[in-house]
Amino acid sequence: MTAVIEPHENENVVWHRHQVTKASRAQQKSQQPAVLWFTGLSGAGKSTIAGALEERLAELGYHTYLLDGDNVRHGLCRDLGFSSEDRRENIRRIGEVAKLMADAGLIVLTAFISPHRQERQLVRDMLPAGEFLEVFVDTPLAECEKRDPKGLYKKARAGEIKQFTGIDSEYQAPDYPEIHLPAGDASIAELVDLCLESLKERQIIRQ
């Protein structure tokens, strides 16, 4: 299934189709393009698990790229704050970048809280059916707060950070994620293995 390309509101901006296709890029890499969207609370382990999975995929010879929430705010999204509107725009931009990378034939891993189902659905709708894999890193709030690697929960509890997800801003857990990672007690290696098995079942990777 091919993603529908919506016409630009300016009639002078026209989508150009190139000779080298997405299918040929993927065939060259012996893999199926996909976007693995890691979502979960701050401190859930999204970036750690995504990074470990990317490392394993690289060892197996696959072509990947990891987009991390903090990293993109240093460049692509440095002009955005944390209002509801800015958070939605942050996710939209990342979705567009992930879509381009998937078009290049890559397996794209993203690690973002992305607390609202509507935002995640926005990215899903950008991609062909089966290419967006929602990965729910299901770590209980109490465990995330205990870890608090950046000290953000402590600041949120002290009122220094407003609208912090899980404290005074809602996190909407996925209803039907493609990959569910019960990350409270499992090891990183175990969670990576779960991801790899799911990718094999979906024939995104072969080994």
Q: Which residues are catalytic?
A: 114
Strands 132-137 and 34-39: parallel
DSSP 8-state secondary structure symbol assigned to residue 133: E
Q: Which stretches within 22-105 are classed as H helix?
A: 22-29, 46-59, 69-72, 84-103
CB count in 10 Å sphere of residue 71: 13
The answer to whether 126 touches 96, Cβ cutoff 8 Å, is yes
Collapsing DSSP states into helix, strand and coil, what is residue 169?
strand
| Amino acid type, 30 | S
Query: Exposed e or buried b for every residue in 9-26, given b needs 16+ CB within 10 A?
Result: eeeeeeeeeeeeebeebb
